[in-house]
């Protein structure tokens, strides 16, 4: 009886807790929905635009009160969008009421290519004569790269500044798989296509090490030279300072290095900003954050404009399991709609993808090709546009990449596990009857026979030949020339210029300008695609996705990203055109 009441009480308590959580969720949603009524926000003179970038930065963010509420309930910072940031910075440059920008970005979560675009927008903002101030208790290396564009870079006393160069690391699973009796059977084409190496080796192969060293050096050279340019130093000096490991140096050393303009507390920086904005010391600064500033109207001096440039966002794995990845059917539909819309005069295809399904890439490529035959198509590459990400880009009229974009990786692979050892260890056996020679293919509990291997390898080679053929057509060259720079090799954006994989170095704003020129139009408005889903449907999808991610991260911490990759590979198409690895460059 005691156990009965114990379980009854536990069930009641669990139900009560779930009800409380749902109640708070409902309150959060209603509060967020209430803010939708604020169609336009007005600001006064000498207002500061506050860019709080201590959060994930994605290519595209939309006004979604449910997502904001969910992030608040989960205790996480909601993502900021590159699209909104670029629009706000450009608008603030023209806005007479904006005196300057206050940058709060010590722990920014974005790739170097994304930061490059924000940084360039901030540098352009300064041409208006307005100021940018940055303050943080801790600057990561990426955050410092962004902050170095500011007029004043301040660090809290006893704070930390990370500057140490770049490091790329991969995780290898070969021995772990051997321990559980699982063999990964690999089929690939391209000596640099090292996506499969973590399952076959215990360290990087020489080709993988070579390509990583080349693009990592290219990225670091660019980053340190840009920091040096902003800080009035030399690239060699920045490298020398990085070797001193500034984050463990004294305040005096950091000041003397020239990396920052001063060690100040926030109240001291606020006082300085009050002087710049003619604000009385006893009054509060007028300030507005990015999400709210997006609702501020600043006249461009033009009325309704019919002509449009469609910016189509392709972000994430191609046909993976991620809720926010690229679904080939949905992406194809968006491109098709832009092609058929006579008011859309040009398309900017924003690609930020490590690749994914080879079949999904081919489906999207077809629609890009058809669109390019109808109107100008300009590709803007983000942090990644590699393998399948390059596949869907190659048919464009022009391709733009950032200096630190990772691209190329032209190659295909397939992986199928053989878990016979695991089954034997567990005492599980399999038997069956078949009608034809290959009826039991593929099997996950036996090794492939030679004729099966020959079939799969031939299919991989066929897919690779199709891939390089698509690239050759798009880049107006031969498959042989693409094969020389292909073979699965990854290149930085700067490297890719030299080998004609991309046409120009530039970001989303430049791509839009080029699309305008190619379409021969003067006035235009931007339409973003794919269209935003109904908020209720989007919320339910995000609720499911956030719940899965929350549980995964709670159990596995940072290692959850490896599980997510394995899940995408398991659930996706078996033949993949994706970058050789998940890589975080610090």
The three-point CA angle 523-524-526 to 5° equals 155
Among residues 332, 387, 393, 492, the one annotated as catalytic is: 387
Query: What is the Cα–Cα distance from 271 to 289, expressed in whole angstroms?
Result: 19
DSSP 162-197: ------------HHHHHHTT-EEEEEEE-TT-GGGH
Residue 578 burial (C-beta neighbours within 10 Å; 0-12, 13-18, 19+) = buried
Neighbours of 178 (CB within 10 A): 11
Please give the sequence-ordered ranges of beta strands (E in DSSP) within 442-502, or none if there are none.
490-492
Contact 77, 61 (CB under 8 A): no
DSSP 359-402: HHHHHHHHHHHHHHHHS-EEEEEEEEEETHHHHTTTTSSEEEE-
**Alpha carbon distances (Å) from 172 to 77, 196, 201, 422, 582:** 32, 10, 7, 19, 12
DSSP code of residue 150: S
Strands 398-401 and 355-357: unpaired
Q: 187 φ, ψ to 5°?
A: -135, 125
Contact 535, 66 (CB under 8 A): yes
Reduced to 3 states (helix: H, G, I; strand: E, B; else coil), residue 217 is: helix
DSSP code of residue 246: G
Closest CA to 163 of 139, 186, 130: 139
Q: Which residue in the block uniquely carries the two structure tokens 């290959």?
A: 438
Within 8 A by CB and 6+ apart from 248, the residues are: none
Within 8 A by CB and 6+ apart from 317, the residues are: 325, 326, 353, 354, 355, 356, 568, 572, 578
Q: Is 564 designated active site? A: no
Among residues 152, 188, 193, 420, the one annotated as catalytic is: 193
Q: Is 387 designated active site? A: yes
Query: What is the Cα–Cα distance from 144 to 136, expressed in whole angstroms?
Result: 10
Q: Which residue in the block uniquely carries the two structure tokens 């996950």?
A: 444
Radius of gyration of the chain (CA): 26
Q: Both tokens of residue 59?
A: 């290519």
Closest CA to 174 of 146, 149, 150, 203: 203
Reported as type and span, the H/E element at residue 236 is helix 235-242
Query: What is the Cα–Cα distance from 17 to 12, expressed in whole angstroms?
Result: 9
Contact 476, 453 (CB under 8 A): no
DSSP code of residue 35: G
Contact 509, 86 (CB under 8 A): yes
Q: Both tokens of residue 569?
A: 């590979």
Reported as type and span, the H/E element at residue 104 is strand 98-104
Q: Which residue in the block uniquely carries the two structure tokens 């708070």?
A: 24
Task: Write out the catalytic residue numbers.
Answer: 193, 387
């Amino acid at each position: 009886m005691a156990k009965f009441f114990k379980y009854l009480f536990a069930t009641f308590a669990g139900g009560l807790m779930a009800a409380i959580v749902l109640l708070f969720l409902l309150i959060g949603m209603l509060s967020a929905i209430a803010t939708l009524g604020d169609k336009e926000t007005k600001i006064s003179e000498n207002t500061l635009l506050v860019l709080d970038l201590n959060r994930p930065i994605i290519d595209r963010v939309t006004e979604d009160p449910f997502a904001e509420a969910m992030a608040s309930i989960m205790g996480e910072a909601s993502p900021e969008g590159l699209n909104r940031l670029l629009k706000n910075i450009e608008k603030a440059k023209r806005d007479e009421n904006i005196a300057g920008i206050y940058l709060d970005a010590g722990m920014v979560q974005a790739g170097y290519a994304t930061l490059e675009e924000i940084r360039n927008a901030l540098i352009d903002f300064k041409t208006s004569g307005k100021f940018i101030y940055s303050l943080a208790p801790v600057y990561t290396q990426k955050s410092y790269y962004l902050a170095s564009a500011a007029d004043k870079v301040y660090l809290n006393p006893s704070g930390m500044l990370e500057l140490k160069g770049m490091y790329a690391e991969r995780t290898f699973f070969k021995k772990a798989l051997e321990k559980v009796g699982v063999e990964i059977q690999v089929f690939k084409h391209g000596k640099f296509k090292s996506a499969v190496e973590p399952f076959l080796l215990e360290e990087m192969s020489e080709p993988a090490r070579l390509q990583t060293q080349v693009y990592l050096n290219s990225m670091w050279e660019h980053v340190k030279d840009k920091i040096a340019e902003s800080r009035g130093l030399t690239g060699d000096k920045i490298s020398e300072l990085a070797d001193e490991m500034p984050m463990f140096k004294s305040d005096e050393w950091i000041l003397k290095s020239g990396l920052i303009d001063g060690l100040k507390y926030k109240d001291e920086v606020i006082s300085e900003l009050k002087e710049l904005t003619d604000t009385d010391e006893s009054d509060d600064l007028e300030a507005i954050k990015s999400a709210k500033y997006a609702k501020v109207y600043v006249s461009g001096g033009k009325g309704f404009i019919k002509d449009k440039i469609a910016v189509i966002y392709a972000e994430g794995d191609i046909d993976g399991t991620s809720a926010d990845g690229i679904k080939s059917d949905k992406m194809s539909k968006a491109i098709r709609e832009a092609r058929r819309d006579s008011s859309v005069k040009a398309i900017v295809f924003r690609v930020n993808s490590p690749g994914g399904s080879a079949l999904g890439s081919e489906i999207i490529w077809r629609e890009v090709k058809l669109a390019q035959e109808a109107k100008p198509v300009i590709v803007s590459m983000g942090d990644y546009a590699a393998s399948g990400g390059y596949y869907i880009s190659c048919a464009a009229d022009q391709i733009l990449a950032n200096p630190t974009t990772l691209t190329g990786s032209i190659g295909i692979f397939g992986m199928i596990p053989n878990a016979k050892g695991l089954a034997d260890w567990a005492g599980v056996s399999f038997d069956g009857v078949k009608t034809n020679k290959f009826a039991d293919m593929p099997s996950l509990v036996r090794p492939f026979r030679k004729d099966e291997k020959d079939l799969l390898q031939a299919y991989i080679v066929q897919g690779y030949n199709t891939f390089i053929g698509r690239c050759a057509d798009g880049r107006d060259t031969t498959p042989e020339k693409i094969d020389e720079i292909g073979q699965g090799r990854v290149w930085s954006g700067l490297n890719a210029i030299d080998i004609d994989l991309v046409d120009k170095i530039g970001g989303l704003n430049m791509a839009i300008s080029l699309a305008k020129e190619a379409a021969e139009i003067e006035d235009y408005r931007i339409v973003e695609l794919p269209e935003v889903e109904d908020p209720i449907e989007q919320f339910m999808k995000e609720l499911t996705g956030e719940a899965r991610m929350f549980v995964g991260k709670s159990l596995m911490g940072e290692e959850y990203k490896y599980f997510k990759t394995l899940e995408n590979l398991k659930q996706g198409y078996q033949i993949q055109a994706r970058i050789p690895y998940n890589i975080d460059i610090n």
